[in-house]
Amino acid sequence: MAIFEHPSFDEHESVHSFYDPETGLKAFVAVHSTHLGPSAGGTRFWRYENSDLALRDVLRLSRGMSYKNAMAGLKLGGGKAVVMKPEGDFDRNALFTKFGEFINSIGGAYYTAEDVGMTTDDMRTIRTKTKFVAGLDEGDAASGDPSPITADGVFRCIKLAANKRGLDLAGATIAVQGLGHVGYTVCRLLHAAGAKLIVTDINQQAANNAADEFGAKIVAPDEIYAQTADVFSPCALGAILNPETVNLLKANIIAGAANNQLSTPEIGLALQDRDILYCPDYVVNAGGIINIAGEIEGNYSPEWVETKLQGIEKTLGQIFDLATETGRTTDAIADEMARARIGR
């Protein structure tokens, strides 16, 4: 499918494809907007069934990064990379060394960092070939793994949404989908606040660990939607809120770390019709990119990060207030605010 006719194309400034037969590297980088500054967003390392799915992901995710960075008040545009995980054995170091060369060839229009499937070790490998990388755990302005800060932002937004609905996290039931670096830390914060947890993950060991550490109830991946819970927190992959799953939901609030949670804009209306308070994902999960923004600018400090995290809470509160005043969906209000900030 041609780029400009692709359903997920949204006036992206540039889309790059990279292939290296020696390492097996197949990757896309999409730069959605540089209106506020160089584009920034993590690299996702995932096994896609085909390149069209990878292209759709990078287009959607890069647009989400434009919105996320704008709503967090960062001097960054939106971009994203996806690397298709090779079949069989491969040399990870060689793969990401070559990927670093490709990132460098873009010339600074895009900064990369960790996303699903990536590690700080991968970032160090990429850094050997380009300076346009963040999420490092060494150097004067190093911010390290951004996932704990992402989890902190998600936790704050869950608490804010619970307050909006008159709920106390102590004793509340939270269903968490996905127990990666972010999701597991979200569980830890919720458990410390006194919440009861229901969890699922395709990694059974991660689920077992949550059960042991937090007393969480484990359910099968396809059963998480129908759990009776106060909050549903999607912290895995995107498009999980669709016509099939929305009808299964029993939660009053949705707030999680996953990107692109709504499969289509119409899902926002479906959630509103069911009186489910949806917290727009790119507002909720901006903690990680806030951490990285300080590193890119070379002036990373925990104090600045804390100020920006408080900004997330303020922005989400404004979205809630506007939704109440106007009767519009929270996702439509957030999209409108974000697009205005990037000049569209």
pLDDT in tens, 297-309: 777 788 989 999 9
With a cut of 70, say whether residue 315 has pLDDT above it: yes
- pLDDT value, residue 301: 84
Domain range holding 94? 14-64+79-127
Residues 153 and 57 in one domain: no
- Specify whether 152 is located in the same domain as 231: yes
pLDDT given at position 279: 98
Mean pLDDT of 203-213: 97
Burial (CB < 10 A; 0-12, 13-18, 19+), residue 117, is middle
Give the whole-angstrom CA distance, residue 326 versus residue 205: 45
In this predicted structure, the answer to whether residue 138 has a pLDDT above a threshold of 90 is no
CA distance 328 to 322: 8
Same domain, 113 and 213: no
* pLDDT, tens digit, 9 for 90 and up, residues 169-181: 999 999 999 999 8
Residues 320 and 190 placed together within one structural domain of the fold: yes
Q: pLDDT at position 142, please?
A: 63
Confidence (pTM): 0.90
Q: How many helices (H) and strands (E) does the chain have?
A: 12, 12
| Residues 96 and 160 grouped into a single domain | no
In a domain, 218, yes or no: yes
Do both 113 and 214 map to the same domain? Answer: no
- At residue 120, does pLDDT exceed 90? no
pLDDT of 2-23, one tens digit each?
Answer: 899 999 999 999 999 999 999 9
**From edge to edge, which strands make up the β-sheet containing 173-177?**
217-218, 196-200, 173-177, 231-234, 253-254, 277-278
Q: Does residue 191 surpass a pLDDT of 70?
A: yes
Strand stretches in 66-183, DSSP E = 77-84, 110-111, 173-177
CATH number at residue 29: 3.40.50.10860
Query: Are 115 and 159 in the same domain?
Result: no
- Residue 245 belongs to a domain: yes
- Identify whether residues 83 and 163 lie together within a single domain: no
Indicate if 248 and 213 belong to the same structural domain: yes
Q: Which residues contact 120 (CB under 8 A, 6 or more apart)?
A: 114, 135, 136, 137, 144, 145
- Of 41, 78, 38, 81, the closest CA to residue 58 belongs to 81
60-69, 234-243, 299-308: which is most confident: 60-69
- For residue 165, is it within any domain? yes
The percent of the chain in helix, strand and coil, each rounded to the nearest 5, is 45, 15, 40
Q: Binning pLDDT at 50, 70 and 90, where does residue 292 land?
A: confident
**CATH code of residue 178:** 3.40.50.720
- On whether both 85 and 184 belong to a single domain, the answer is no
> Is the Cβ–Cβ distance between 331 and 278 less than 8 Å?
yes
- Whether 92 maps to a domain, the answer reads yes
Please check whether residue 43 lies inside any domain of the structure: yes
User: Are residues 95 and 156 located together in one domain of the fold?
Assistant: no
List residues with catalytic annotation: 80
Q: Based on the structure, what is the number of domains in the chain? A: 2
**Two tokens at 54?**
């990878």
For residue 109, tell me if it sits in a domain: yes
Higher pLDDT pick, 136 / 73: 73
